[in-house]
Amino acid sequence: MSFTDYETALSNSLSLGSILILTALGLAITFGVMRVINMAHGDMMMLGAYTAFVMTDSNAMGILVRNLGGLLGKDWRTDFGLHFNLYYAIPAAFLVTAVVGFLLEICLVRFLYKRPLDSLLATWGAGMIIQQVVKLLFGANLQPMHLPEALQEGWTIGHLTIPRYRVFIAGITLLCLLAVYLWFYRTSFGLKIRAVVQNRPMASAMGISTRRVDSVTFAFASGLAGVAGCILAHLYNIKYTMGNDYIVDAFMVVILGGMGQLAGSIGGGAIIGSGNSVVEKLLGNTSMAKVVVLVLVIVFIFIRPSGLFASKERTYD
């Protein structure tokens, strides 16, 4: 492994780590804090990616309308298409997935807060439905995405070229982290979330609408997944099954980092992301790198079940 290999691995881990952190950040809120397993989180990413597709690609509307017409047995066509760039697609992806997440919470997850294992099964089912609907609306093909020109080039430092888009991803991740931090620890709503998480009946007795807190928090976490998907879409292609590739990794990040710790997920994401890139360079094989990293993470969880940054709590389980 030469010096440049290390540098490429470093640059790869920057983007991969950022995406994992961003994906896991939403999960760290739903899984780590609210203790509900949202297996549809990966599909929220996929929805974000497809929102970006509709926003940026002028053909997307045509495909959507034609497939919708096909389902209803009508011959619909349109030349209309949105042609915004990535910067508008990110907030749009956030909004769309947040709305879907909100609906998912009030229709389904709300009833399953005390049954985490059942929430896992039910959200997996919800994820299947979302995937199939997207497949029906947009087709099963891979859809390529195009970056804005300003982000296509790279910066050259010495003999190393860092693609601008990877730096942009890291920037967006930092921005989201900052937003989550401020929201959680500097706003009155964040205070309410923490109160509900610590002691639900007491928070409710103090006049906090725990239902509203739950659904808004869940919607926000889903929105974060949408942003992650939107960014990921521009790094690779998009497909309706793309969420499945990340969901297990994201859960591993949250467990590795330690439940209930937002900081832990950042550490976990950075470790798994950079671990993946380094092992990939060492072995020269992406899939094998994934296998090695997954096994290492499982072994680590065996050794330290509470994760990297364990929050001290005493519970009667």
Partner 1 sequence: MTKDAANAPNLTPVLPSSRVSVPRLILVFLFLAALFIPGQYYANNKYWLPLYSKYMALALFALSVDLVWGYTGLLSLGQGLYFGLGAYAVGYSLKLQQAARVADKPLLAAPDMALPDFMDYCRLPEVPVWIRPLIDIRLALTLAILLPLLISTLFGLVTFRLRIKGVFFALITQALVLAVYTLVVNQQPYTGGVVGMTYLAKLELFGHKFVMTDMYYLITTILVICFLGCALLMRSKFGKIITAIRDNENRVLALGYNTAMYKTFIFALAGALAGLSGALFVSAYGTCGPDSLGIAWSIEAVIWVAAGGRGTLVGAILGAVLVNLANTYFNDKYTNAWPIILGSLFIGVVLFLPDGIMGGLRTLGRLSMKTFGRLRLPRAGQSVAGRKHEASVLPDTQRPPPAQPSQVPNIQALVTDPKGP
Give min distance, CB of 167 to partner 1, in A. 29
Give min distance, CB of 243 to partner 1, in A. 12
Residue 117 sits at φ, ψ, to 5 deg, of -70, -35
Nearer to partner 1, 66 or 290 (CB): 290
Give min distance, CB of 136 to partner 1, in A. 6
Nearer to partner 1, 164 or 290 (CB): 290
Nearer to partner 1, 89 or 250 (CB): 250
What is 49-62 written as a DSSP string? HHHHHHHH-TTHHH
Task: Name the 3-class secondary structure at 259.
Answer: coil
Give min distance, CB of 111 to partner 1, in A. 6
Give min distance, CB of 29 to partner 1, in A. 15
Nearer to partner 1, 233 or 297 (CB): 297
Contact 197, 34 (CB under 8 A): yes
Nearer to partner 1, 111 or 181 (CB): 111
Please state, as a whole number, how many other Cβ atoms lie within 10 Å of the Cβ of residue 314. Answer: 4
* Site residues, partner 1 (CB under 8 A): 37, 108, 111-112, 114-118, 120-122, 124-129, 131-133, 135-136, 201, 244, 248, 251-252, 255, 285, 287-288, 290-291, 294-295, 297-298, 301-302, 305, 316-317
DSSP class of 309: S
Task: Quote the radius of gyration of the chain (alpha carbons, Å).
Answer: 20
Whole-number Å distance between alpha carbons of 93 and 151: 19
Residue 279 sits at φ, ψ, to 5 deg, of -65, -35
